[in-house]
Structure 1
Amino acid sequence: MKKITLLFAFIGMISLQSCTVNEVRDNTVDNDTISEVYEVTRSFSTGNNFSSLVTLPHVIYSSDMVLVYRLSGVVSGTDVWKLQPETYYFPDGTLDFGYDFDFTQYDVNLFMHGFDLAGVSPNYRTNQVFRIVIVPGYFAKHAPSKDKSAFQDYEHVVATFGKPTVQKIL
């Protein structure tokens, strides 16, 4: 009896060793997640408290990230976009003024900050063009770097996240 029990135990051990679990890694690509870019032109004055609320065309996911760029000029026919926040200083190093933003799932608030915003040149207050880039949470999570420098170059960002069509919001 001991020999039969030992034989069954031996056969059981051999048969259990042949069972393997194949691990399947989820290397799928999320092809239906699309970044979006909205362009707005805004002016800042005492009348709007140097801020402008941009209502998004639809609710974004709470995991999405929002980047804002301001058109700071044109060089050789190419637009130059600066990542926000952006700050300008007096020659002595003290704060003059700056642009900043905050966002919710429903809107983006663009605003200026500083000490004498009414005294800032109209070139910096009126008809400012902003691009609002909605980066889906999937892309934000898998971005090569989370530091700000990875998002400085607007053209690189939109190329990385699948060059979306720029939609104008009034």
Structure 2
Amino acid sequence: MKKILTLFAVVGLIAFSSCEGPEGPPGEPGPAAEVFQVKGVNFTSANDYNPIIDLNPSIFSSDMVLVYRQDGNAGGAPVWKMAPELYYLPNGSLDFGYNFNFTVNDVSIYMDGNDLESVLSGFRLNQTFRIVIIPGYLTGTAKSVNKPDFSDYHAVIAKYGIDDSKVKEVKVK
């Protein structure tokens, strides 16, 4: 009798674990990747070399945030460098660099270095940044083989279908 009950239990587990119900309706599409641009960013002692950029909508913990600084133009098109971006002295020590962090509502772009006041004004004043927010569901798993070269701004916007002509302008806090 115990063998028959065990057999029924095993068959029941197999039957119920392999059942699939009908698919439900497709869900609403999630938010798309977005690009925000902020012009006229100044790194000074007044803002502790750390300007804050408020963003709307909120950034979720699963989102990927990428920051690019415009480093001149080539052939009439802007050249974008990804942060962190570091500059070294001839002896190999760090001169200065740009880095960032973010919260749910803002992105903080800051300069690191030993003597930031001595950094040429062309690197401290009137800078333009682009902030790319990629929702977590778009980035896939860590094993994904179709990830773009994140250091290449143009590869990122192509991969995530971002319309570069619809960049949203934001201001420094």
TM-score, with structure 1 as normaliser: 0.78
How far apart in 1 are the matches of 2:28 and 2:91? 49
Letter of the structure 2 residue corresponding to residue 35 of structure 1: A
State how 1:2-17 maps to structure 2 within 5 Å.
none
Q: Does 1:101 align with 2:100?
A: yes
How far apart in 1 are the matches of 2:131 and 2:141? 20
Q: Does 1:168 align with 2:166?
A: no
Which position in structure 2 is the counterpart of 1:37? 35
SS in 2 for 1:124: helix
Change (3 A) 1:77 1:142: farther
Which position in structure 1 is the counterpart of 2:124? 125
The alignment's C-alpha RMSD in Å is 2.8
SS in 2 for 1:67: strand
Identity %: 41
Letter of the structure 2 residue corresponding to residue 156 of structure 1: A
Aligned length: 151
Q: Does 1:113 align with 2:101?
A: no
Change (3 A) 1:29 1:61: same
How far apart in 2 are the matches of 1:76 and 1:90? 29
Which position in structure 1 is the counterpart of 2:139? 140
Q: Deviations over 1:27-54 (max 9, x none)?
A: x898543001000121111111111011
Which position in structure 2 is the counterpart of 1:64? 63
State how 1:18-37 maps to structure 2 within 5 Å.
31-37=29-35
Which position in structure 2 is the counterpart of 1:78? 77
Letter of the structure 2 residue corresponding to residue 137 of structure 1: G
Letter of the structure 2 residue corresponding to residue 121 of structure 1: L
SS in 1 for 2:149: helix
For structure 2, the residue ranges without an aligned partner over 5 or more in a row are 1-14
How far apart in 1 are the matches of 2:22 and 2:153? 36
SS in 1 for 2:117: helix
Larger Rg: 1
Q: Deviations over 1:107-153 (max 9, x none)?
A: 10000010010000000000110000001001123574598x82010
Q: Which runs of 4+ in 1 moved over 6 A?
A: 22-25
Change (3 A) 1:30 1:66: farther
1:159 positional shift: 1.0
SS in 2 for 1:37: strand
SS in 1 for 2:137: helix
How far apart in 2 are the matches of 1:30 and 1:104? 26
Which position in structure 2 is the counterpart of 1:55? 54
For structure 1, the residue ranges without an aligned partner over 5 or more in a row are 1-16
